[in-house]
Amino acid sequence: MIRVNDNFLKLPASYLFSEIARKVEEFKKANPEAPVIRMGIGDVTRPICQAAIAGLRRGVDDEAKEQTFHGYGPEQGYQFLREKIAEIDYRNRGIEMDIDEIFISDGAKSDTGNIGDIFSRDCKVAVTDPVYPVYVDTNVMAGRAGDALPGGGWSNIEYLPCTAENRFVPSLPQGNPDLIYLCYPNNPTGTTLNRQQLGEWVKYAREHGALILFDSAYEAYISEEDVPHSIYEIEGAKECAIEFRSFSKTAGFTGLRLGYTVVPKTLKGFDENGKEVSLNSLWLRRQTTKFNGASYVVQRGAEALYTDEGRRQIDKTVAYYMRNAALLREGLQEAGLEVFGGVNAPYIWIKTPEGVTSWEFFDKLLNECNIVGTPGVGFGPSGEGYFRLTAFGRFEDTLEAVSRLKSLATRTTKKTN
């Protein structure tokens, strides 16, 4: 009898984003002329920069000729790219990272999902709340989450609330977790931890023998000095943290698929006899066995991002989105809403008005402004009463959205008066 992984069946049948899609579809059917602006899914809209396009073309040209054809590449990625990452993403920030500690992949979603393969099913997991759903769902699938709780969340996962009350700075865990997922700059709240705050997490993890799974997919959006781009800027992090990076939001590679994961050789786990095991070796084994490397063409595209020209171009795209973010922040504040994020991240996290739930706010924005966002509660129990808008749209659309939101506020105020 073909027995399935019962943990899969614990997951709710409908996803957040499919529920949103369904609602938008229904609305458009009823209002076919409505000029809907989508600010829900965190996907980029600007084209790939010219430097990366040239890199991709070079990659394609190489594949067309016998002399330069590339078949199977190293599962952990080409050296030409890992060297650039070690130099520019790390050495230039004062961090020494061996290229054998860097693993190129088809994206951070795959890696943050697959990393669970190397850990025991008994590991206890902690996440900040709200949280990127992949961290939780993949642990549900692996059998680490326990059971779904009526109010949202899972019985064996420790949730660390991040709300306006604690300025989105999570308290240290109480339940002695083994694996702690941190994403900074944060998706969905758009908030960050400063150097001192992240330092406390590193201290905690080292003292408690925990591992931090640090997702810094949005580091390119950091504008403030005191916010670390990499957890390895914190001393001791090489003994307690794996870092996930992505080219998706840095360079618009969501459709091209490329990311990387850093697993320092100093990281140790323990086997059933308490013997030390290198996590770097385990991840290498996982990747060489279940993955065959990222596309050569895409790796050539990413390599070109590390030239002066490439870096200037991606800075420009990041600035384009962050202009949207500033516009949204200011517009929403002028409309009388309390907003967070948008300074070091392309996400705006809105406190819904008193007594209005995340989904009610979703409906209101869709019906009255024709704007699609994401209900905060979709990211976890502490997301209730919040709402996410992304700054990844076109500037013109963002302008128009802000104007609609302000006009909604005016109408609402008038009605109240």
Residues 220, 314 contacting (CB under 8 angstroms): yes
Q: Work out whether 264 is an interface residue with its own copies (CB under 8 A).
A: no
Q: Minimal distance in Å, beta carbon 76 to its own copies?
A: 13
> DSSP H helical segments within 257-352, as ranges?
279-290, 296-303, 308-334
User: What's the residue count for the chain?
Assistant: 417
Helix pair angle (308-334, 50-63), 10° resolution: 130
Q: Specify whether the CB–CB gap between 118 and 271 falls below 8 A.
A: no
Q: Supply φ then ψ for residue 157, to 5 degrees.
A: -105, 135
Name the amino acid, one letter, at 225.
E
**Binding residue (CB under 8 A) for its own copies from 100, 120, 206, 309:** 120
Q: Please choose, out of 7-15, 304-312, 365-373, 374-382, the segment that lies near its own copies by the rule CB under 8 A.
A: 7-15
CB 148 within 8 A of CB 335: no
Among 104, 127, 198, 211, binds its own copies (CB under 8 A): 211
Minimum separation from the CB atom of position 329 to its own copies (A)? 23
Q: Is 44 in the site for its own copies (CB under 8 A)?
A: yes
By CB under 8 A, what part of segment 140-179 binds its own copies? 141, 178-179
Which residue in the set 186, 254, 313, 382 belongs to the binding site for its own copies (CB under 8 A)? 254
Which is closer to its own copies, CB of 134 or CB of 409?
A: 134
CA distances from 80 to 18, 74, 84, 137, 299 (A): 39, 11, 7, 34, 9
How many positions of this chain bind its own copies (CB under 8 A)?
79
- Tokens 């995340």 sit on residue: 358
Sign of torsion over alpha carbons 28, 33, 39, 41: positive
Contacts of 143 (CB under 8 A, 6+ apart): 5, 7, 121
Choices 106-114, 221-229, 302-310, 348-356; region in contact with its own copies by CB under 8 A: 106-114
Q: Using the rule CB under 8 A, which residue among 31, 79, 289, 367 binds its own copies? A: 289
- Closest to its own copies by CB, 282 or 409: 282
* 319 makes contact with its own copies (CB under 8 A): no
Q: Does residue 239 belong to the site contacting its own copies (CB under 8 A)?
A: no
Instruction: Decide if residue 290 touches its own copies (CB under 8 A).
Output: yes
Q: Is 397 in the site for its own copies (CB under 8 A)?
A: no
Peptide bond into 47 cis (omega under 30): no
Among 22, 31, 200, 209, indicate the residue that binds its own copies (CB under 8 A). 209
Question: Does 45 help bind its own copies (rule: CB under 8 A)?
Answer: yes
Is 79 an interacting residue with respect to its own copies (CB under 8 A)?
no
Q: Is 24 in the site for its own copies (CB under 8 A)?
A: no
- Residues 23, 362 contacting (CB under 8 angstroms): yes
Which residue among 125, 298, 343, 401 contacts its own copies (CB under 8 A)? 298
CB of 34 to its own copies, least distance (A): 22
Amino acid at the residue 36: V
Smallest gap from residue 227 Cβ to its own copies (A) = 26
